[in-house]
Homo-oligomer: A and B are copies of this chain.
Amino acid sequence: MMLAAFSASAQQRNNVVPSFAGAVEDFQPNVTNQRGHQYPMVNSQGAVRAQLRAPQANSVQLDIGGRRYEMVKDENGVWTGTSDPQDVGFHYYQLNVDGASVPDPGTIYFFGAGRWGSGIEIPSADMDIWQVKNVPQGALEEKYYWSKATESMRHCFVYLPAEYQKNPNKKYPVLYLQHGNAEDENGWGSQGHTAQILDNLIAAGKAVPFIVVIDYGQSQNIHLVGQYAPEPQPAPAQPVQPAQPGARPGARQTGPDAFQVVLLTDIIPMVEKEYRVIADAQHRAMAGLSMGGMQTRRITVANPTTFAYVGLFSGGTISVEDVQGAAGYKDTNKLVFMSCGSKENPRVMEAAEALRGIGMNAVGYISEGTAHEWHTWRRSLYEFAQLLFK
């Protein structure tokens, strides 16, 4: 009894739970499976069922959504386990084989949560927004470029709308679109489906054609050199922040940001040299998810006349004080868009209302039924893109 009780307690501490027992048996192969793989599967409740052949293993677990589900071995050495229902949209997950956390060999792989690993897609009623359809197709370019600020070759992705190659004299607006913490420049094209969301919106006449630039923004991994490397310094003085809806005190520091340096020194100049771009603030947008949204706030406030369109997806809010403390921000800005999932802390509607109160065009958006994950951000891009450059 003591041992069993201790064991149960140890399991709870590690968040190890039994497979979901209430699954409806209508599982279908997950859409991000490798070609020819039946598993993992997803059912109509959003439960995930994984399988792995590991005849000599002592324990195999399905690790998803902060829990590890015990999988059970059959007579052929194949382990099967089922998770509780998950939110609609995309989730990172992994398998745990005798203490080793490894990708599921059944899926293709995604970078996020700090590693390349498995991902699963729980179908949603609106997954149509990112499907590949028979509409005019843009292209997602993989592009390297020289960075003066880091004295290295950097790597980004550039979405070019379908008409770009057909209009050799037309110039286009640009959205600089950033990933979150522990993610990289692969996310928006892969699990974010940026190209498909924009191709579909542009084909439907809901968005104007624009370019999207997706770069790597994890500042602690960006090593600035020479004149670009700032001296260590205290954070600049900020207006006193009253407690208010939309205020997130933890996001207020605006100190040196290596990504800001690279964006302004290297990325924007490279894009405006290599592509046909309308190179002014009225045709330049910045947005990001989570950490990328916080960077968007800091960079646009620090450079208030550089970007006319601003998007924060699950990335905090821009306050009246931010705008009033940044000379030229209000006159330059055409849109502040702030969004989050309904399962996050949804202060975005109040923050947008406050900005509208000082005459800004501010839009709040809440993604119903989703948390701090990719489906929130796909939907945010879908909404934001329709408001850009109009």
Contacts and interface: CB of A to CB of B under 8 A. Distances in A.
Contacts of A195: 142
B99 A53 contact: yes
A377 B153 CA distance: 25
A386 interface: no
A100 B57 contact: yes
Given A34-B115, A34-B116, A169-B168, A100 B103 contact: no
Contact of A97 (B34, B97, B153, B169): B97
A134 B153 contact: yes
Interface in A36-65: 52-60
A221 interface: yes
A220 to B, nearest CB: 11
A99 B139 contact: no
A97 B57 contact: yes
Interface in A64-107: 77, 95, 97-103, 105
A348 to B, nearest CB: 32
Nearest to A77: B99
Copies in the complex: 2
State the 9 A-B residue pairs at the shortest beta-carbon distance, nearest first.
A168-B168, A54-B100, A57-B98, A56-B98, A139-B141, A55-B99, A102-B102, A56-B99, A140-B142
Contacts of A59: 56
Nearest to A162: B274
Nearest to A108: B116
A9 interface: no
B53 A100 contact: yes
Nearest to A59: B56
A390 interface: no
Nearest to A151: B134
A383 to B, nearest CB: 23
B275 A165 contact: yes
Contacts of A165: 274-276
26 contacts: A34-B115, A34-B116, A35-B221, A52-B100, A54-B99, A54-B100, A56-B59, A57-B57, A57-B99, A57-B100, A95-B102, A97-B98, A98-B98, A101-B105, A102-B103, A102-B105, A103-B103, A105-B115, A132-B153, A134-B153, A137-B144, A139-B141, A139-B158, A142-B142, A165-B275, A168-B168
Contact of A141 (B117, B140, B275, B276): B140
A139 B143 contact: yes
A228 interface: no
Contacts of A115: 34, 105
A210 to B, nearest CB: 16
Interface string A118-137: 00000000000000111001
A22 B108 CA distance: 36
Given A103-B105, A105-B115, A139-B158, 11 more contacts: A35-B184, A52-B100, A53-B99, A56-B58, A58-B58, A95-B102, A97-B98, A108-B116, A139-B142, A139-B143, A168-B169
A195 B155 CA distance: 13
Contacts of A99: 53-57, 77
Residue from the set A60, A97, A169, A276 with the largest chain B CB neighbour count within 10 Å: A97
A153 B274 CA distance: 29
Contacts of A35: 184, 221
Nearest to A34: B116
Contacts of A137: 143-145
A35 B185 CA distance: 13
Nearest to A37: B115
A337 interface: no
